[in-house]
Structure formats: structure tokens, C-alpha cells
A and B are shown apart, each in its own frame.
Chain A
């Protein structure tokens, strides 16, 4: 049976949800081993060992691994790939940063953003902003894949009985250093795990209007807030709100698109949502072609009214 190594996405305190989808994908390939690389992250390894279906958890605890710098992490993973057949990472910003570096060091052509496992070396993945789904077979001896979080069920966080094994390694490559991060403090649910998302588009006019119209509705519903690329480009909200081909891929229970026309690249990020609701004054807007429930109305009247009536 194939041995897979899953890179665990975490913040040195807890396992991030995206890891759980990667574990599910890996379990379809073979035995699942995890790598927790970080600094002061023993608790992460302990909880990772409880994820259902997990075998060994390798814990590399080293100050050089604290910030997931790919220059330090990738060589460590390459060492482990001497005795694993597949490397699996979630297609998060960290996963996307690290996996190709690993692939090139192993002389393997990576499969990005995998949607399904079709066979031991065969996968489906989206191309052209999700407008074409390719079924692709690898001829490399080892596999390197990143996994789209919304395409796989999350592995259960309990019931597993993995064993934690401390390993050394992760020396400083001396190429890069971490300066700092500005992680948005957000009281609202994270986009990739929110059950409901309210998204705004360019029609929201400016940053203040976006906040005044979208935020109250989102807060009433306990929803996460997203935005189209146009709204991000126009500076209404920061880039980490962006839903689409080049932003986040989401699949909530309910997605409410407000003043979003429905460009291809936006649809690529949200069309797997269970129910899509669109509010737009242009009845020909492409968003209505994918919406389950549409309301043709001026958002500046309709959204406050909706917020008031909920």
C-alpha cells in the first residue's frame, strides 16, 4: 500500500481545517502519515494524531520552521519523501508556496488543486478558472499534489490513534527570514469554513458603503464576508476577502451575491455553493444564470430592507 505524507497546516497552536480535507484525499491513496513542522507545536502534533485514519505523526519542532518558510521546510519534506510515495498538501497559500518547491527538488511534476482521486496516479483538477475539468494521470515515480479543500469531506478530528514521533531537521537554509505578518482580526467566520457568506461587488461604490450595506446583513446572519475581484481592485476591502479564481474558493451552504455581475473568474470561486442567492439591479447579469434565488432590485434599497426584516 502506498505511503502518503500530509503536510499539516497549523499556526503552531492548532490544526487548520484545510488539513482535514487533505487527509481525506491522502487516505484514498494509501496509509496516511502527517508532518507537523513548526516551533513549539507539540500540541498540534497531539491533536493531529487524533484525526481519524492517521498513522504516524512526525513532529519537527525547530525555531527555523516557525513561519513555514519554504526554503527551510521543503528540504525537510524531501528527506521524508525518501520513504513515502506521495506528498499531499492543502491548496492553501502555505501549501501552494511549499509543494512546488518540494516537487522540483524531487523532479516530480505536481498536480495542483486536485478535486478527486480517480486511481492510484489519476486525478481530476480544474483548469481555465474551473471552466474545464482535466482528468490527469501522472507518470512520475512519486506524487506531489495539492488538494482543494471544498472538494473533499473533512476527516474527523477524533477517533484516530496516531503515534507522535519527534524528528530532527529543518535547518535554516540562510536564504530567507520572516519579517512580520498583518493577519486581519476578523470576528466573522473564516470564508473557507463559513456556512453562510455575503459577498459584495463593484456596485457597492466605495469602502464605507460596502461596510454600511454588507456588514450588517452578514452580522445578522452570522455570515462571513466576501467580495468580487472588482471590489477588491477598487479598494473597498482587503484582498483576503476575494472570492474567485485568484482568490479563495468557497462552497458554503448559502452564498449571497450582492451587486456582483458574475464574471467567469468570480463564479470559479463560488459555484459549488449549495444555494446561491443574487441581488442585482441588472436582470441580465450572468450571476442570475447560476443563482437559485434571484432578486432584481437596487441593492441600496433591498439589502437594508432585507437586513431589517430578518
Chain B
């Protein structure tokens, strides 16, 4: 079985985003970029399924600028077999990404597509569900455990009150949540080896997908700032404050 793993290049998890002064977006110039953390978990899960003998090949895909190659090389260094970059400098919305991924899936015929539940830049949480809809496949979102058994996959999902388990017919889409696994670091020899793994470059037009945005961003602003309050000296002073608030 082949596994398709879409990955996104985003602002690094540890960088605090700054809104541009002119309100047109977030300043990404000279900011450290990395693979979306949920996508790293997706790559790791695919590799574990390959190590278990369930998967035979892992294809990493990214839709983004030329620099997204670095993100794909990271996936290859972790253990993906080959990569496809759908190169565009435009911002591509989840719906268009899902359409591109559907077109790729028609060629690659994966048994599973595993991707992050959301990207930490636009926080949309849509691409996996949209891809499942377009492919007419079942979806196991916010996964904390994935087990393939024959022509089905059992997915344990993180839901509001706890956990939920669903059984899905393959091919299926799985989106990852934080506790699914802990992604490995690529070793130096594997980083070297990744440089010679195949990476194909395509364009959205190759898949006949129009990436014109449906949503227009009118303005981006800083959230209202909360200012620091007071510090109290000891527990007694805190108790007094809680009493003022009427909760003690």
C-alpha cells in the first residue's frame, strides 16, 4: 500500500508571529520556517506503518513556494521515499490544496492519505476533510491511534469529551492530532541520503486546478492586548483578592 503525506511549510512553532504595520498580513521576512508540526506527526505515522510492513511506499507532497523543497527534503530525510512539489508563489487555500491533492491521488492511488489536522499559520483545519469529500472517501480526523487491518483502518479520534473510535474502508484520509506519535529526528546520514531521493516539481496548472482565492483578506490586526495586572505577596493576599471577586 502506498501512503500519500501532504506537508506544509509554515512559520516555525517557536517564533512569535508579528502582524505587519500596514495590516496586510503577518511578517514572514527573515523568519524561521519549518514543517507544520502536525504534518511531522503524519510523516512519522506513515514511516511507522512502513516499518510494520503495512505500507510499501511513502510519497510526500507539498503545495507552496520553491523553498517548500526544504520541507520535502525533511520528510525524505525522516524516511519518505519520494516527493512532489506543486510549486506556486500564491497563497493556496485549503479547498484548492484539496483539489490538487485529489488530482495527485488519482495518479498515485494511495491506500491512505495522512496529513496534519491543521496548519499552525491559517489554523483552518479543513484540508483533510475536504480531500475526503472530493475523493468520496471516509475520514478519520484528529487521530490519536491508527491501525490498518486488511482493507480497513481503525482510527481513534480525540474528541471534545474524550476518545472516539471509527472504522473506515480504504482508501481513507487520516488527520493527525498531537498524541499520535513523537516524530523522529532525521540522522545525518539520512539527511545526506535524502538529497538524492527523487523530488518532482509540478505546477497547479499541471493538475488543472484554479488556485484563485475565494476569500479576500481585508485586514489583519493584532488581537486586543491584555496588560499585566498586579502581583500579590502571599497566599493570604491572593485569598483576599479571590474574595473580592466573589469566588471564595
Contacts and interface: CB of A to CB of B under 8 A. Distances in A.
A71 B138 contact: yes
A54 B247 CA distance: 35
Interface stretch (B46-54, B70-78, B224-232): B224-232
Interface string A128-158: 1111111111111000000000000000000
Interface residues of A, number: 90
Contacts of B217: 134-136
A63 interface: no
Interface in B221-242: 221-223, 226, 228-232, 234-239, 241-242
B165 A179 contact: yes
A135 B11 CA distance: 20
Interface SS of chain B: helix, strand, loop or mixed? mixed
Interface in A262-308: 264, 271, 275-277, 279, 283, 288-297, 302, 305-306
Nearest to B158: A239
A96 B94 CA distance: 14
B168 interface: yes
A228 to B, nearest CB: 12
Interface string A179-191: 1111110000010
A177 B234 CA distance: 55
Interface in A166-185: 173-184
B245 A288 contact: no
Contact of B98 (A104, A136, A182): A104
Contacts of A140: 214
A97 B129 contact: yes
B219 to A, nearest CB: 4
21 contacts: A93-B159, A93-B160, A101-B130, A103-B133, A111-B215, A113-B123, A127-B123, A129-B120, A132-B19, A132-B222, A136-B218, A173-B138, A175-B138, A183-B162, A196-B247, A229-B178, A240-B161, A289-B226, A293-B241, A306-B235, A310-B242
